[in-house]
Chains A and B, each alone.
Chain A
Amino acid sequence: MTTFDIDRIRADFPILKREVHGQPLVYFDNAATTQKPRQVIDALVHYYEHYNANIHRGIHALAEEATARYEETRQKVADFIGAPGPECIVFTRNTTESINLVANAWGRKNLGEGDEIILSTMEHHSNLVPWQMLAQATGAKLRHIDIDDEGRLAGDSVEQLIGERAKLVAITHMSNVLGTVNPVRQIADLAHAQGALLLVDGAQSVPHLPVNVQELDCDFLAFSAHKMLGPTGVGVLYARHELLESMDPFLGGGEMIRRVGLEESTWNDVPWKFEAGTPNIGDVCAFGAALDYLQELGMEQVRAHEVSLAQQAMRRLSEVPGITIYGPKSDEARGGVVSFNLEDIHPHDLGTVLDRHGVAIRAGHHCAQPLMARLDVVATARASFYVYNKEEELDALIEGIQAAVRLFRAPAPTRT
């Protein structure tokens, strides 16, 4: 059990007081985006009401204050993921942009004909499409690690595919569909033994479990603030300092330069070299409040709370006749994401019925079409949990599912 004071946590989230279709909101779509605590909302308002200014250029008090807060958040991010220093942290718009940054600024310079990029069949489109584009531009080849029947990376496939032609392994830390937590450290060792780099898609891991980039020994880590209590529009790229130094810029413009001539320019130091133009200052500052909030809860506790919810959810869901639950069964190998399908009921129909019960889940391909094909389904229903969810909310989920079963499986009464 967890040491969470769940009622106190819930009181911090204004949106949890609202009703949906006359029912209390049960928000189980946290893998898509999470709700925001009062502290984060206040931090955003505070920025606009008290120190809104452009950063790194003004010499007035507001600009200095905004710059200090912005850079303070960079330090908080570094601390949160155990990075050696803030120079390893680049702010982007989201995970997707962070991955595109690596594909363009590192990939185009370092990959060529015959080089291999190793991915897996469980990747989100944002850790797949940028590599497809890069492969097309450079002649590099994509190879995909398969999954086993429980939805884990197939061990033999991992070792076979990471061979001497591998230049980059790009893998999700936790699947947004299966909930699988991948053995990133082992993969890092395999990749490095072949001279390849490792990029970790941390969109679903950094918000939900303790992540330390030095322990994982990854070269790049990408994640999004909006999936961890923070505002939308802020993403993070962590990269090893030497890599950032050696990479070309991604976007060109203001902020990322040192001297600009008519024909040529020189680049700013890292990480600013990768932050062209006015960044999302207000949201970065507010993201700092989200990191504080999670630090205070403790990521071990967050993880334990979600594992316990996922366990309860799987136990109760498995009692529903005709249900298929995807992903690993054991606690260590999974996080708080539970995907499932009901026989004869399409996830969209289930989603619509659950919505009427106030329960928000996701139904669809979850931006993982190759994984859907691998599972041989068109879509799944997915419930995903976070710090403010409680066991009692599972009642509404189960009741909603039962209502859908009554609606769609009942024999049609004779028409009049």
Chain B
Amino acid sequence: MPQPQPEPEFDELYREIILDHYRSPRHHQPLANAQVVAEGYNPLCGDEVELQLNFENGAISDVSVQGRGCSISQASGSLLGDIVLGKPTDEARRLIGLVTNMLTDAEAEPPEELGDLEALQGVAKFPARVKCATLAWHTLEDGLKQREAAGADRPIVTRHDE
């Protein structure tokens, strides 16, 4: 049987940054008294992401990312932790928009400010995997929205189904 050639598109999906975040996920320590616990679940493939968040002066002061699932879902969560930590919530919302746009539009040029997240760009070419990558972002979006609705002063748990 002929040896499979590495395909450019394939490398585009499993970029080294993604594999690295999958093998050694960042922000993995659970928070003791998180103000927001946002759980995300993709019933189709069983991917799970749990975000724990604390806020100070309108910014995300602490983030923990846990979960189980495929490399794309878990690396995406880990990269999310990297970029939203310390960001004002409005700014985090804006980033969610940029990232989800990049993940769903194969033509979109990722803005430079996304940094390492650009590694997720290839996902847009794998329709079956897009939801793996968007899970963490939609989970965060949901958590932020519900925190706002709940009035920000008591801890909440949110559940998002991708």
In whole Å, how far is A232's beta carbon from the nearest beta carbon of chain B?
A: 20
When distances are taken between beta carbons in the complex, the residues of chain A under 8 Å from B50 are: none
- Distance to closest chain B CB from A373 (angstroms): 10
Report the minimum CB–CB distance from B72 to chain A (whole Å). Answer: 8
Q: Give the number of residues in B that approach A within 8 Å (Cβ atoms).
A: 30
B19 touches A407 (CB 8 A): yes
A377 to B70, alpha carbons, bound, how many Å? Answer: 12
Which of A183-191, A280-288, A306-314, A408-416 lines the interface with chain B?
Answer: A408-416
Interface residues of A in 371-414 (CB under 8 A from B): 372, 377-379, 392, 395-396, 399, 403, 407-408, 411-413
* A379 neighbours in B (Cβ, 8 Å): 45-46
Q: Is the CB of B45 within 8 A of A407?
A: no
Are the C-beta atoms of B132 and A348 separated by less than 8 Å? yes
* CB closest chain-A residue, reference B19: A412
**307-350 of chain A: CB within 8 A of chain B:** 346-349
Assess whether B20 is in contact with A415, with CB atoms less than 8 Å apart. Answer: yes
Decide if A378 touches B46 in the complex (CB within 8 Å): yes
**With A and B bound together, what is the CA distance between A349 and B24 in angstroms?**
17
Q: Which residues of B contact A412 (CB under 8 A)?
A: 16, 19-20, 23-24
The interface bits of chain B over 11-31 (1 if a CB of A lies within 8 angstroms of the residue's CB, else 0) are 001101101101110000000
Q: Given that A352-B126, A412-B16 are known contacts, is A24 also in contact with B1, CB under 8 Å in the complex?
A: yes
When chains A and B are docked, how far (Å) is the Cα of A399 from the Cα of B2? 11
Are B44 and A364 in contact, CB atoms less than 8 angstroms apart? Answer: yes
B48 contacts A by Cβ under 8 Å: yes
- Bound-state CA distance A347–B45 (Å) is 9
Interface residue? B5 (CB, 8 A): yes
Q: Report B-chain residues with C-beta under 8 Å of the C-beta of A261.
A: none
Nearest CB of chain B from residue A395's CB, rounded to whole Å? 6
Pairs across A and B, CB under 8 Å, 12 listed:
A22-B4, A23-B4, A346-B71, A349-B14, A349-B70, A349-B71, A356-B10, A369-B43, A377-B46, A412-B16, A412-B24, A415-B20
Interface pairs A-B: 4 shortest CB-CB: A378-B46, A346-B70, A348-B70, A412-B20
